Chain A
Amino acid sequence: MFYREAGDFKTSYQADNQTFPIAFDRYRYWFVLAVAYLVIPFMINDYWASAILVPFLIYSIAAIGLNILTGYGGQVSLGTGGFMAVGAYACYKLMTAFPDVSILIHVLLAGGITALVGAAFGLPSLRIKGFYLAVATLAAQFFLVWLFNKVAWFYNYSASGQINAPERTVIGIAVTGPNAPAWAQYMVCLVFVTASALIARNLTRGTIGRTWMAIRDMDIAAEIIGVNPLKAKLTAFAVSSFFVGISGALFFAVYLGAVEVGEAFGINKSFLVLFMVIIGGLGSIFGSFAGAAFLVVLPVALKVVGGDWLGWPTDMVAHLQLVIIGLLIMFFLIKEPHGLAQLWKLAKEKLRLWPFPY
């Protein structure tokens, strides 16, 4: 009834090309933004911030990054954890080396450094394809984690081998370190998420996104029609790593505060982000959010139900959680291999005709 394009006339090219061409979508988008910026910061408490909202936002950025590489560029990567570690350690080195510069700039720079590293590890993708490439990206994962563990310069020769985020402020309010209030952490992540989603959405709609998709659909054919595979693949790796690096930096500086590289950025992180992208939907920005939300909320929900309500021992709940996540992944892949984004799309198609489908 409300959700349709009939009667929504566009009078300029700009209006015709906007991100959300349907009026209802636009209103919904502004509504979500308004709730996220104006309502949640006033209601948030420590539990919600640290258990759900902040990790959700940070993983969303990582999922957007991986989705650009895997969903749009067609290059499967299992090195996300390693690239997040690059972002985290770059951010740490910058924070301790230049304490006077704003943390926001450090996070962006950390993203930039990760982009360079990602492009370097993307070079083999020009010759290696498919699963061989997926396994090759594991080289990045293991090598980077080992590097950050072994080279003391990266963790400033601290005795524990950990890195700890010093307190940094944005306009006078602490956002990192133990004294940062929950709403400040949330707001910093939210700003980065909004910016990332906007940039990613518009990149994937434009020339560069189309070259990625051409390479994904068939790289030889794309080359014949004039897409430069070197440029397309390396930009996909670089842009993807940029977002992943930002998420790694936020994950370390804002969310965890102290990081041991093998634990925080191990192979499991790579799989987790890949799950988010697949369950959310390959090649969809909305899907990245949906997948991240699903996989952040699910373990918390299972823990609440199994541990707190039923009173089962925690190790058993952890095992059950593995079983249920595994089952859900298989169930989703069987029922909807294109992820939550596809369900959303179907719902919208239905809504367009509702309530008079004929």
Chain B
Amino acid sequence: MSADFLYGVEVVINGLMSGVMYALVALGFVLIFKASGIFNFAQGVMALFSALTLVGIMEGQVPFAHLINAIFGTHIHNFGWEVPALLAIFLTVLVMVAFAWAVQKFLFRHLVGQEPIILFMATIGLAYFLEGIGDLMWGSEIRTLALGLPQGGARFIEDATAGLGGDDFYGFFIDKLDIVASIVAIILVASLVIFSQYTKHGRAMRAVADDHQAALSVGISLNFVWVLVWSLAGIVALVAGVMWGAKSGVQFSLSLIALKALPVLMLGGFTSIPGAIVGGLIIGVGEKLFEYLIGPMVGGATENWFAYVLALLFLVFRPQGLFGEKIIERV
């Protein structure tokens, strides 16, 4: 096999890995959209916020330290303790659940029955709010996540595959973190599927996704299900935030992964969990391959827009995405 072909294969593998990361973010979108019809633009910022919270709790930072210092003229920054990672993750999950409850209680309860575009705008407002609060609470410097996740290229894969393609080929370079992320994503999706298929609350969630009014009439509390769904989305955001944060540091750009997840959603369909995963993989491979094959000819950095154009082309033939529910219009 020629080295060029093998490098192509490496690009595909890395594309699959980053596709998993995209799918992770897209999953949170799908959960909320299915259950409440809200297109949650704040998903990316939720990932940023949860990762910031995790780092802040682990380092024992005082929330709103800057604000308190500015108002009262004090100089506090740290509680002076460090929280072990598992406990910090648990506390962060609690924060995300509280956040889900607050969003439901103060925002979307008052917006029931509004048009989808209004709900969408509300989530953009929520994104702004959360971004500002996250920075106010924990500061806006770039933070590193010290969870002890493996970093760097996986040497053993590189060594094992080095013999495949002659002298020009040095083996597949695959980031260890990507492998961990893929495994975590698989576990997450599996547990979500088990939760929604085999538990009481999971069934309630699916019932609400199917038909709000029918679900209400058999005694399912919409309010509870919505809080549940937002909490799940918050946990998914935390996982996505940890994975992306471990990769490139916890910083503002983390919230931009929402923009990476949108074409995935379009392609897979807004209402389908398998769609989010397959869409993520297609986008991941597609944009990496395009950058590898065509990118050098047109000046590179095509990853920003290629995913959108690819999704657009798919949509022209299937307006509801690959796995979305068929859009039936009645007059």
Give residues in A with beta carbon < 8 Å to B. 76, 124, 127-132, 134-136, 138-139, 142-143, 145-146, 149-151, 218, 220-221, 224, 267, 271, 274-275, 278, 282, 312-313, 315-316, 319-330, 333-334, 337
B residues in contact (CB < 8 Å) with A = 39, 66-67, 70, 107, 110-111, 114-118, 120-122, 124-133, 135-136, 140, 259, 262-263, 265-266, 270, 298-302, 304-305, 308-309, 311-312, 315-316, 319-321, 327, 329, 331
Q: Which of B117, B129, B312 contacts A326 (CB 8 A)?
A: B129
A145 to B301, CA, bound (A): 11
Residues of B within 8 A of A136 (CB): 266, 308, 311-312, 315
Interchain CB contact under 8 A, B331 and A218: yes
Task: Tell me whether B265 and A333 are in contact (CB under 8 A).
Answer: no
CB-CB under 8 A from A267, the residues of chain B are: 259
Q: Check if A319 sits within 8 Å of B135, measured CB to CB.
A: yes
**Which residue in A76, A142, A150, A278 is a CB contact (below 8 Å) of B308?**
A142
Residues of A within 8 A of B117 (CB): 76, 278, 282
B129 lies within 8 A of A124 (CB): no
Min Cβ gap B123→A in Å is 9
Of A220, A278, A334, the contact of B329 (CB 8 Å cutoff): A220
- Determine if A150 and B319 form an interchain contact, defined as CB atoms under 8 angstroms apart: no
A275, A313, A326: the one contacting B130 at CB < 8 Å is A326
User: Can you report 17 A-B residue pairs in the complex whose CB atoms are below 8 A from each other?
Assistant: A124-B312, A130-B116, A136-B308, A138-B262, A138-B308, A142-B305, A143-B305, A275-B124, A278-B118, A316-B67, A322-B132, A323-B132, A323-B133, A326-B125, A329-B128, A333-B125, A334-B111
- Docked complex Cα distance between A326 and B125 (Å): 4
Task: Check A316 against B122 for contact (C-beta < 8 Å).
Answer: no
Determine the main DSSP class of A at the interface with B. helix
What is the chain B residue whose CB lies nearest that of A278? B121
CA distance A127 to B124 in the complex (A): 26
Nearest chain A CB to B108 CB, angstrom units: 10
Residue of B nearest to A335 (CB): B110
Beyond the given A131-B116, A333-B122, please list 6 additional residue pairs across the A-B interface where CB-CB is below 8 A: A127-B316, A135-B308, A275-B121, A316-B67, A323-B133, A326-B130
| Residues of A contacting B70 in the complex (Cβ-Cβ under 8 angstroms) | 312-313, 316
Task: Report B-chain residues with C-beta under 8 Å of the C-beta of A127.
Answer: 315-316, 319
